[in-house]
Structure 1
Amino acid sequence: MGGKREVILVIIMFFLGSFKVFGGEVDYRGEMRRLIRHIDAQLPEEYIVIQQNAVDLYYKNGELMRDWLVGIDGISQESIYYGNPEYNSRSPQSYRNLLEKRLKEVRGEGLAVFTTNYTKTLWNSWTSDREAKKSGFINYNVPNREVTQINSKIPYENTEDIEELKDVKNFLYLLNPERYRSKREYIDTLAKTNFDLLVIDAFFKGKALTEKDIERIRYKWNGGRRLVVSYLSIGEAEDYRHYWKKRWNDNPPEWLGEENPRWEGNYVVKYWHREWQEIIEGYIDRITEAGFDGVFLDTVDTYYYYINYD
């Protein structure tokens, strides 16, 4: 959520491979790819998988490894134009150039590319939309760093039915519904939008959304069908989730690491650990039971942390 990694770290990690950790050999990049494929295998065949950040996961020695792309349908990139390192700030040109090149290559392989930029000024928003369109990306400008607000502007608004990811012309990225007093208010607000794709949390203040909730928001206010995908953090554990156990605060499991200093309550995990993967599997069961159209995988770039840690 919200551009968790520093620019310099991101650029360096494009050129790094696997390293030793905790006395053994772990291919951090390979383990993250394997986890994503494992998640894809657990999902119904028609489910969409969108990955947030870390496009370099599919590169080796600067070359795109096309067979590694199996298991994902789209990639979303944060702060490519605005928001890194601070909200509303222009992201460094070197950072943008590196990402644009690789995202265009991935798009050329048939994947959808989304961009989320953390800005709300008129000029910055216009620039983000323009630059994304030039590259064939689908852009959303996030009104606040906490991702709690809906941007009322919908580029390329339409009444068409959206059956596949390639049909999407715009999307909503709303990960934190804390501003809404009730689930009913939250669902009603989403239902009255015309976004082609909703990226939302599968929970409202600790309670899982139901199949009825998803059916309520499956159609745009203008009548066209849309896609609804669930946020899922796979590289960090969050202490406000249903799976969190109070005893972990004093006696964390072996796979639970340190707290992310930029996001209170988020802890890096050894994502290759079987116990963590079982938690993810249980989370996915809740997502599929609710009838989402897919998953939006965040904190994929946690493998940067482990490379840097060594």
Structure 2
Amino acid sequence: MKNAAMALLVLLIVGCSNNDDDKDTSGAVGDRDFKQDMRDFVIGISQTAKAVDADFFIIPQNGIELVTTKGEEDGAPATAYLNAIDANGQEDLLFGYDNDDQATPAETVSYLKSYLDISKNSGNTILVTDYVSTPSKITTSYQNNAASGYISYAAPERALNVIPASAPRNENADVITSLSQAKNFLYLINPENYSSKQAFINAVCATNYDALIMDLYLEDVTFTAAEIAQLKNKANGGKRVVICYMSIGEAEDYRYYWDASWNSTKPSWIAAENPDWPGNYKVQYWNADWQGIVYKNSDSYLSKILAAGFDGVYLDIIDAFEYFE
């Protein structure tokens, strides 16, 4: 929480939910370990996906405190969690934490890196997205992230809706089959600037990024396995890995799973709307109904991603535990 008013709102919401009617395991708030609930959620997604495809990448974004057992910088590594994931995504590490194109405070950089390095030292890849547009700052972002052993992307727009005009850093013609081989990545989850799936495919296939993070949908239509196969081709003849974005800490009212009745009466496990992203709602992510939507049902979001032939999943709103804490 970045201000006292929001913190008070959270306390009121949590306090009102802590009553005898909420003491079932799927919906209770009460005395929970919210970080462990999220670790367990990610581990469950990983186990389910890797049972289908052992090489499928699991990449949680933000919420980096989960890599230690107590969520503390000097804590013991959370081994089961670290073993279940293949990488950590981190936004705003060097630029964008307070404002886009503005350097992140040094103490914040140090704090985040202390956790990121725990994950890196356990064998995971670190994918950093800095929101930066000034050319000299873009250079600084790439150089400093590389010096830390991280793969980074300098996103010119926080909406993640454009492909930068410049070539990827460390452009290459390699055939990429694992995240550890990737030297760069493109984060393009908002396809609003493309009139069709084919236009999106053509734009991406004209680039040489080693990894692509994208959405499963364009205008409510899923990309097919054949289309994802096309997207794996780099312009120079190499191959890239293609990873699908999925939010697991918020429900989005524009997704296929959103029931129209929720517009007037939401399930008890849907909490407050995200003030920064209208239409996105915090969820009690440990709830059985929500986890069914995400990965436990036969027609779950994860099953759709696997069926489409993606190489991995990029899990967002991992830091939802902060809201409930």
Give yes or no for TM over 0.5.
Answer: yes
Report if aligned partners of 1:214, 1:290 keep a CA contact under 8 Å in 2: yes
Give the Å deviation of 1:91.
1.1
Give the Å deviation of 1:143.
1.2
Report the equivalent of 1:267.
281
1:29 aligns with 2:35: yes
Name the SS for the 1:26 alignment partner.
Answer: coil
1:302 aligns with 2:311: no
Letter matched to residue 104 of structure 1: D
Taking every aligned residue pair, what percent have the same amino acid on both sides? 35
Supply the distance in 1 between the matched residues of 2:3 and 2:94 (Cα, whole angstroms). Answer: 12
1:90 aligns with 2:103: yes
Report the equivalent of 1:39.
45
Letter matched to residue 314 of structure 2: F
Letter matched to residue 40 of structure 2: R
Supply the distance in 2 between the matched residues of 1:22 and 1:214 (Cα, whole angstroms). Answer: 45
Q: Deviations over 1:95-147 (max 9, x none)?
A: 10111122122211110001000111101101101110110001101111211
| Structure 1 segments of 4+ aligned residues over 6 angstroms from their partners | none
Name the SS for the 1:126 alignment partner.
Answer: helix
TM-score where L is the length of structure 2? 0.87
Name the SS for the 1:120 alignment partner.
Answer: coil
Report if aligned partners of 2:214, 2:244 keep a CA contact under 8 Å in 1: yes
Supply the distance in 2 between the matched residues of 1:30 and 1:248 (Cα, whole angstroms). Answer: 28
Q: Deviations over 1:193-234 (max 9, x none)?
A: 100000000111111110111011111111111100100000
1:244 aligns with 2:258: yes
Give the Å deviation of 1:22.
2.3
TM-score where L is the length of structure 1? 0.91
Higher strand share: 1
Letter matched to residue 306 of structure 2: T
Supply the distance in 2 between the matched residues of 1:138 and 1:275 (Cα, whole angstroms). Answer: 35
Q: Any gaps of 5 or more consecutive residues in structure 2? A: 5-13, 20-29
Letter matched to residue 217 of structure 2: F
Q: Which of these residues, 301, 314, 321, is aligned with residue 283 of structure 1?
A: 301
Q: Which of these residues, 60, 83, 100, is aligned with residue 51 of structure 1?
A: 60
Letter matched to residue 128 of structure 1: S
Paired residues in the alignment total: 294
Supply the distance in 2 between the matched residues of 1:258 and 1:150 (Cα, whole angstroms). Answer: 32
Report if aligned partners of 2:93, 2:104 keep a CA contact under 8 Å in 1: yes
Q: Deviations over 1:258-278 (max 9, x none)?
A: 100001111000000000001
* RMSD of equivalent CA atoms: 1.8
Q: Any gaps of 5 or more consecutive residues in structure 1? A: 9-18
Give the Å deviation of 1:66.
2.9
1:143 aligns with 2:152: no
Name the SS for the 1:276 alignment partner.
Answer: helix
Q: Deviations over 1:158-189 (max 9, x none)?
A: 00111111101000001100111111111111
Name the SS for the 2:318 alignment partner.
Answer: coil
Report if aligned partners of 1:7, 1:85 keep a CA contact under 8 Å in 2: no
